[in-house]
Structure 1
Amino acid sequence: MCVEIHVSVTDMAERFYSELRRRYYTTPTSYLELINLYLAMLGEKRQQLVAARDRVKNGLTKLLETNVLVDKMKIDLSALEPVLKQKSIDVNALMGKLAVDQESADKVRKVVKEDEALAKVKAEDTQAIAADAQRDLDEALPALEGANKALDSLDKADISEIRVFTKPPDMVMTVMEAVCILLGSKPDWSSAKQVLGDSYFLRKLMEYDKENIKPQILQKLQKYVNNPDFVPEKVEKVSKACKSMCMWVRAMDLYSRVLKEVGPKKERLAAAQMELNATMATLKEKQAQLQEVQNKIKILQDQFDKSIAEKEGLAKTMALTEARLGRAGKLTAALGDEQVRWQESIELFEQEIHNVVGNVFIAAACVAYYGAFTMHYRQLLIDQWIVRCQELGIPISASFSLINILGDPYEIRLWNAEGLPRDTVSTENGILVTRGRRWPLMIDPQDQANRWIRSKETKNGLKVIKLTDAGFLRTLENAIRMGMPVLLEELKETVDPALEPILLKQTFVAGGRTLIRLGDSDIDYNKKFRFYMTTKMANPHYLPEVCIKVTIINFTVTKSGLEDQLLSDVVRLERPDLEEQRNQLIVRINADRNQLKAIEDRILKLLFNSKGNILDNEELVQTLQESKVTSEAIKHRLEEAEATELMINAARERYRPVATRGSVMYFVIASLSEIDPMYQFSLKYFKQLFNSTIEISEKSSVLEERLQILLDQTDHPERPDVPWLAEFTWQTCCELEDTLPCFNGIKREITATPITIKLGRLEVCINPENWQGYVSDSQLPPYSEEMSEEEKEQADGVRGHWDQRLGAFQKLVLIKSFMEEK
């Protein structure tokens, strides 16, 4: 099929040249471009359609799920009501029993608290007595600990050192006497030596029963303790071991005296402790009773809490269900009317996905090949391709449209606002400019593309250059680096070789940078860079080496496009209020449609991204509701605006015959360049002439009269008497054949191959195509009727009633058919 596309374009290019003398070439590169373009477009378009379908399908699924949930929730809500009622009764009963038990527990708790307070006081008193006794004991403990530590430092050698004395020093004897008294031995040296010889001597000292020293022993010991020389410091000078024993003796004395003072306190402590124990026992019993009551209360409280939780759970479930039903109502109100439309949209998307292979293939062929052709030849190619796809079983839409396949309504409206004419050809050209892989070269004799590109890209920092500019390469280089768009205007039939790397997009990567060679240097290539080219030449001849590098797009104004432009001019001059109102309305309608589309996309996106039960998302439902309210307001505003637009358009349509006549006149004048290249008139000049003709024409308050005046003035603009006036008049009449009923659809094509036919007894030399073109049964009613008897009788003279039956132009056609030289 790709080969057939390529061959068909080649054939059409030959026909294009033979009929319009316009050159266009196809090359193998064009064929490869078609394949690459198709592969890129197919994946993109399929992904776009699948994503759009899935979004709508998801929205529809959520809506259908909501409807199912609503029915289920209504049943659940009816079932929950009696359960919640019974649970409320159970909770109230538990609450009453809990109150009674709680009152009983409070009484017990009060008694226990009183007993606890009393026990606390007694415990504090007991603790005070114990603390007082302990303080007294703590006074003796340091001395006792010091003595034990000193004894612990002695060894057998220290003890043996004392035993060797035959006659010990007085201080040694004094210490040993005191030790002997405490150990229950005689206070003499002989007994002392025996005591020292005991292997458990030190152990006996350390484990001595200091709690139960007899009073008479303590009495005997006072003589030694009160001796001013009986102190560790002085004894240490005589014997280290005796010093430790001296410290022990004094510690035993001190501890005994302290213990004597602490004794009564211990007795009080014991009595207080017994009383406290009794009080605590009583308290423990009462606490056990309280605990038993509290356990019962806890069980009841747990049951009550559980019942309360169940009741609250049921209430929350009911509230949630009611809230969900409320949100479902909002959601249904917001999206209910979308269900049918979304279902239809899904079916359309499914159909488009099914046909995407063929649709994108034809669209890619359009982008790759048919930009240089005029509307008529483009349609011939598309019709031929569609028929062939259908023959080969390639799925394709019956009503294929490049605008529907590759166009974005929002983007197209934006193009129109930026100055792109609204006719089909201009819109298709806009798609070719933005979707082609190669940079566009626009044939733009009327500067329509130039003005549109300027308006479209000015906000992006557009740079406008000409090949005749001294520094155009420097400007181009800066734009490539910065990613700014560039418009190369007034291009001729050749392209500067320095532009070839840009046209072929010969970028390469070096050191992690994307570069392109321009002239003698490599520069950074910004992917945001865009390159546009326009030529004012009406029929340029670009050689194949140029055609393969660019996408040639024919932006020559069309009749319908020019007609709309001239209609705007006529209404602006005749009814400026109407035209201003229409322009404002178009802007408002476009803005509203864009906002409406954005809201719908937002609704579908919110639905697509929602997780879990959509009815639990209050924010989402609220947003959807607000979006729908806004959407409805916009729709209402759009309906009013579109109704107003219809009224305005109806009023504007009254002036369309004038615009149609002006469009015909322009194309007649433009076609004169085919007679002689000297006959060149710009669209700008023609529009100035057209507008000035309207401004200086005779005024009339009656619309019909005013329109007739404008038509007459448009037919006879002030012009000099030139040699081509006759041809101009003939061309004008032929071009008007489709706009005026008096011409009855007469064809204008005239061939040059005459043949001889008989008309009655008259042989005449006539071109058969001329005769079929001008005197066809379906075109000239006067020729289609059967000849009357009177006419047959007068057929010899070939006169009849032709003078009465033919109009002036029909007579002219008849004469031209028989006498082409005229």
Structure 2
Amino acid sequence: MIILNKSFFEYLNNLLNVGDIPNIWQSYEIDEPVDNARPLAKEAGKPIGRDDVMAHFTSLVRSNLHVVLCMSPSEGEHQNGKWKKRYTDKMAEACVHMHLSVEQASARFLSEMKRHNYTTPTSYLELLNSYEGILLQMSQEIAARHIKLSNCLQTLIRTNSEVEVMQGQLIAIQPRLEQSQKDTVAIMEELSAQQQEVEAKQEIVRAEEAEVSQSADEAEELALEAQNDLENALPKYNAAINADQSPDKSDISEVKSFARPPELVMIVLQAVSLLFNQPQTWEQAKKLMNAEFQGKLHDYDKDSLDEKMKSKLKANFINNPKFQLEVVESVPKAAKSLCQWKFKLDQ
């Protein structure tokens, strides 16, 4: 239905409600209906003034007026079926319900507030316009959601295609991944074996470290013992350094003067005779102590002593408790000097 002029509904509404259309009569046109209706007003006991007669005429028209309103939905934009979509039965029922509800509320408003509220065709049209606006808004929202859903669907389709491509690539590289996994397992096994080997070597190193530490302790103890021996031997060594300056001729003469030398003197002379490869007797010792004896003592090459000679000296004299400087102190000076010379050779 196409409505060219909305005032048509206003006219129709006034006609149905009050039986009159405002300003429909011209001033010169009112006289005729007033003159014709005055006898009827007088007969009905109504005042016969101009306005009163016109009001009586209007009431007679409203009482006897029947209006038939025909509208065709087959014109204009509704030829394509939009009428059925827009104005369904439920929509019609909703509009009727709202229209009647407003009339009921208007009646209650008049009863309580003593004020009129008229429901006009314009109000009904505004209702339809509001519905149309809401329908348009919802249609736009649905269209926007449709676009959004379509975009999401396209994204899902594109993602699915990409996933299929990646799955194909994954299947293609699967053999390499399996080989890499095998290589990794082999490397891990090799590392585990190397780790065990390293741990075994660490155990060996720790054991050797303990042995080295023990050896270091033993070496330190030996060093202390050697230091003690050195400190004990230094007096003998220092005395032996100067032994080549003695005995002098008088000391040698003193020893040769013995008819039978003391035991300690004889032990010293036996050691000297052994060094010169002479018999270890008193007679041979006296022969050895000749004029060249001091020179022989001074020039004696101690480096010429072999291990055999050193062993004999150590066994027969050096380890002899009587063949010590402290013991020989009590014998003549020549014997002590010869004993010091002998110890010098052992250094």
Q: What's the TM-score, normalizing by structure 1?
A: 0.14
Higher strand share: 1
Q: Could you say which structure has the larger radius of gyration?
A: 2
Higher helix share: 2
